[in-house]
Amino acid sequence: MYPVLKVNLLIIGAGPFGLSMAAYAKHLGIDHAIVGKPMEFWRRHMPQDMYLRSTVDWHFDPLGVYTIEKFLETQDLKPADVDPLSLSFYLSYAQWFQTQSQIEVVPLFVRRLDLISGDDHRFQATTDDGQTIKANHVVIAPGFKYFSHLPAELVARLPPGRFSHTCDLIDFSDLENKRCLIIGGRQSAFEWAALLHEARAAAVHISHRHESPAFKAADWSWVNELVEGMVENPNWFRRLSQEEKDDVVRRLWVEGRLKVEPWLEARIMNDTVKLWPRTEVSDCQVEPSGEIEVKLSSGATLLVDHIILATGYKVMIDRVPFLTAGNILEKLAVQNGFPVLDDHFQTSLPGLFITSMPATQDFGPFFAFTVSVRTSAKLIGHAIAP
């Protein structure tokens, strides 16, 4: 039996949001523990050779000390030398940030989380190896994996076992000389297409309902000021009218969804990759030969071997397994699948905070991006610090 670990703050999740939170908790002198495997989603659900849309100023440190630019200085590099940021570089930065910030991550996963009574701590977490952690406060910083979106009406048309979501397809070696259909029209669809081409797929089709996005660099310059300003004005987004919220979402959509990075163009425009804009899958059948015959709404018919869903992520907080395993979910205020949060990311259960993508309903779409990790850490830290 393990001894029970008791802390003031338990951070569940060791991705960018969790690591940033741990660094700020340490700065504020908050007794804490962080559990998870550092950058696990990034390591296990992103292709090794991919590049990120993150910019060098999207660092993890709320104190502005251990920044990506500082990390570059240690290697005698300039931002232009690493533009665009590769996944391997970003993971190296995350490891360096963790080391410099002296963040010790408990490499375990939480199996269940419960609200407890009759104890000097409000929450009890049980890890996958049976360890118990009790905490006065809990910050949940979940990765996107829980929220991979598989549209039911689309999946119903697809043959079981012959399709994958992008987060589950990061090794392309089995698709050499195979024909693939990617459904989706955003950055991930185009990057997976490039990687499949480079892995020597025989053909890569991309079907999406809208016009093909432009190969044009996204302009994120306006985002930083808004996100950083929320430290002093955390309810800025929620106080906007619905029309104003839609305008913010639309502006981010234009940058993040109607554009794909220009460094993809040369990797996409070749004889292997074929774009099918303004189309949807209308029918899908497996032929006796094992080929998948896909009919598009345009009337075109494709023969492919595998289908990839670049359909993004959709928050449904009841898909977080350790919440459903314990008694938290039944007590949690939820709206549209999102937890209801206050100005400091606190849920309807005092002491329980949720950040990252589940915070986008109350704090805006920026919280699906790492640009928001520092603001998140500061607002939560200020709510917890004595």
Q: Starting from the edge strand earliest in sequence, which strands make up the sheet with 292-296, in order? A: 281-286, 292-296, 301-304
How confident is the model at residue 165, as a pLDDT?
97
Task: State yes or no: pLDDT of 88 exceeds 80.
Answer: yes
% of the chain residues with pLDDT over 70:
99
pLDDT class of 54 with cuts at 50, 70, 90: confident
Mean pLDDT over the full length of the chain: 94
> Quick one: average pLDDT of 341-365?
96
61 close to 20: Cβ distance less than 8 angstroms? yes
- Residue 85: its pLDDT value, please? 94
pLDDT of 381 > 90? The answer is yes
Q: What is the pLDDT of residues 245-296, one digit of tens each?
A: 999 989 988 887 789 999 999 999 999 999 999 999 999 999 999 999 999 9
| pLDDT, average across residues 362-386 | 94
pTM: 0.94
CA distances to 117, 141, 219, 361 from 368, in Å: 33, 11, 16, 10
Please give the pLDDT value at position 117.
84
CATH architecture of 152-217+261-309: 3-Layer(bba) Sandwich (3.50)
* pLDDT at residue 1, as a whole number: 61
Residues of the chain with CATH 3.50.50.60: 5-147+314-384, 152-217+261-309
Q: Which residues contact 349 (CB under 8 A, 6 or more apart)?
A: 115, 328, 331, 332
Q: Residues 138-197: pLDDT tens digits?
A: 999 998 999 999 999 999 999 999 999 999 999 999 999 999 999 999 999 999 999 999
Residue 49: the pLDDT is: 93
CB 328 within 8 A of CB 114: yes
53 in Cβ contact with 256 (< 8 Å)? yes
Asked whether 287 and 293 are in contact (CB, 8 A), the reply is yes
5-147+314-384: CATH homologous superfamily?
A: FAD/NAD(P)-binding domain (3.50.50.60)
Q: What is the mean pLDDT of residues 106-118?
A: 92
